[in-house]
A and B are shown apart, each in its own frame.
Chain A
């Protein structure tokens, strides 16, 4: 059901690391936590894949995969095949960081290279999946994640390369901005990073696919009503029938084997 457009791809930092979106008029958290979103994204990973993780939320994905799965996580500044984020200051190595500048652990099979080779990997078609944050995604799969409205500059990072060149582009984001505006829209009103690039959107309220007309809701987050999910989309929305719930059993995902598809 997922449409893959191998021509296209993107990735840039967007999230600022907030655990939960602050929806107006709602103090309690609803929908998936960042970690649960990472678990859902990780269901797309397969052994042997090269998976680029963008800055911000996406770097959480290396935290939740089963340790015995040999997935090569890629960081733009020139690391392929790193392990988990290090949570002990004593083990932190300043010469082994991810795209969010977090120290990560080494892993067998890991390699280092420079920035040019790092992106040659993308341009040369070696990156299977990029996981990327977004400010807006349109129903055509257009990705906007590098410039805010009316700001004279922005932060594009390496996202555009990956959005254009990865075989599959997965957006990982909260479905609404901090002020409550839907990020899934008919047309982006922010400058585009990559047109028609996005294949799948994993959000705190559900999993969406762009097109062919509006968005398709393919999975709903546990505890979220269909109406709540609809309010996060400022475009036509089709819902698959029957609508599955996102298969996240618990936030403690280490034992939940995210690499094995439901």
Chain B
């Protein structure tokens, strides 16, 4: 019987190795990020990693600043739509802060506010980390290319800017395009809503993001989910990521649920 469900995040990450390349899904907030897998990765302390992720800038420093701002605003401040971050949430930047990352391919390595630099920026200055800054569309499509077996594609985005320096340019219908190559990784850590033992996944709302793109773009894809259900409970018409792209499934310790009251 096929059963991709594993009992713990440690088991899910059993073969993670130093120097591995890892896709990490999500949009820097608890609903869409593989929170538990990330926490386990930090706990394991495996280093020299290449991470491919939407945002490598936000870490504990960012969270502390958010909390300080909220405290300063006071409890009576109007709710501005941004949900308070739970204690257990750690963004991807924490991996950078712990010194586990050698290279990040991401749409955020720094910030646009003056003052303190991010952990990544400090490590770049020390010469111990590299950041390849890419716009999210190029990042997503390069990952998708990795999943679908295309080595490269041409894109008009970024022509004439630092993001495409050194890349091959070719003109189609009078417009210049650059050659962007596929991004495959050793592991993909993603978050989804529901899963069955085949690894079939459904997502909820705006939390699909990079998760559904990264699924299958790695040698081993590991999904953490809010709920594990019997195979006949998932409507085949509603499956967003077919199980063929998923190798391991682990149940979230901290489910992120829609408020009902």
Residue positions of A touching B, CB distance < 8 A: 7, 12-14, 16, 75-79, 85-98, 100-104, 112-116, 118-120, 122-123, 135, 145-148, 151-161, 164-165, 178, 191-195
Task: Please determine whether A102 and B213 come into contact, CB atoms closer than 8 angstroms.
Answer: no
Task: Please determine whether B137 and A94 come into contact, CB atoms closer than 8 angstroms.
Answer: no
- Least CB distance from A233 to B in Å reads 21
How many Å lie between the Cα of A155 and that of B105 in the bound state?
12
- Least CB distance from A54 to B in Å reads 11
CB closest chain-A residue, reference B156:
A164
Interface presence of B141 (CB below 8 A): yes
- Least CB distance from B86 to A in Å reads 10
- Least CB distance from B93 to A in Å reads 12
How many Å lie between the Cα of A120 and that of B138 in the bound state?
10
CB closest chain-A residue, reference B131:
A153
Chain A residues whose C-beta falls within 8 Å of the C-beta of B203 in the assembled complex: 112
CB-contact partner of A12 in B112, B120, B209, B210, under 8 A: B112
- Least CB distance from B100 to A in Å reads 17
Interface presence of B143 (CB below 8 A): yes
Task: Please determine whether A156 and B82 come into contact, CB atoms closer than 8 angstroms.
Answer: no
Main SS class of interface, B: loop
Task: Please determine whether A158 and B110 come into contact, CB atoms closer than 8 angstroms.
Answer: no
- Least CB distance from B130 to A in Å reads 10
Task: Please determine whether A156 and B27 come into contact, CB atoms closer than 8 angstroms.
Answer: no
CB-contact partner of A78 in B133, B206, B261, under 8 A: B206
CB-contact partner of B135 in A16, A147, A158, under 8 A: A158
How many Å lie between the Cα of A86 and that of B79 in the bound state?
8
Interface presence of B83 (CB below 8 A): yes
Chain A residues whose C-beta falls within 8 Å of the C-beta of B261 in the assembled complex: 90
Task: Please determine whether B209 and A87 come into contact, CB atoms closer than 8 angstroms.
Answer: no
- Least CB distance from B228 to A in Å reads 18
Interface presence of B239 (CB below 8 A): no
Interface presence of B144 (CB below 8 A): yes
Chain B residues whose C-beta falls within 8 Å of the C-beta of A77 in the assembled complex: 27, 32, 206, 208-209
Task: Please determine whether B135 and A153 come into contact, CB atoms closer than 8 angstroms.
Answer: no
Interface presence of B28 (CB below 8 A): yes
Task: Please determine whether A92 and B112 come into contact, CB atoms closer than 8 angstroms.
Answer: no
Task: Please determine whether A192 and B160 come into contact, CB atoms closer than 8 angstroms.
Answer: yes
Given A95-B205, A114-B210, A153-B121, A103 and B136 contact (CB-CB distance below 8 Å): no
Chain A residues whose C-beta falls within 8 Å of the C-beta of B88 in the assembled complex: none
Task: Please determine whether B259 and A87 come into contact, CB atoms closer than 8 angstroms.
Answer: no
Task: Please determine whether A155 and B205 come into contact, CB atoms closer than 8 angstroms.
Answer: no
How many Å lie between the Cα of A116 and that of B213 in the bound state?
6
Interface presence of B219 (CB below 8 A): no
How many Å lie between the Cα of A100 and that of B144 in the bound state?
24
Task: Please determine whether A113 and B29 come into contact, CB atoms closer than 8 angstroms.
Answer: no
Given A153-B120, A164-B157, A158 and B107 contact (CB-CB distance below 8 Å): yes
Chain B residues whose C-beta falls within 8 Å of the C-beta of A98 in the assembled complex: 81
- Least CB distance from A258 to B in Å reads 20
Chain A residues whose C-beta falls within 8 Å of the C-beta of B157 in the assembled complex: 123, 160-161, 164-165
Task: Please determine whether A102 and B212 come into contact, CB atoms closer than 8 angstroms.
Answer: no
CB-contact partner of A87 in B80, B117, B175, under 8 A: B80
Interface presence of B207 (CB below 8 A): yes
Residue with the highest number of chain B CB atoms closer than 10 Å, among A152, A164, A191: A152
CB closest chain-A residue, reference B27:
A77
Q: Mark B194-237, 1 if CB is under 8 A from A, else 0.
A: 00000000011111111111000000000000000000000000
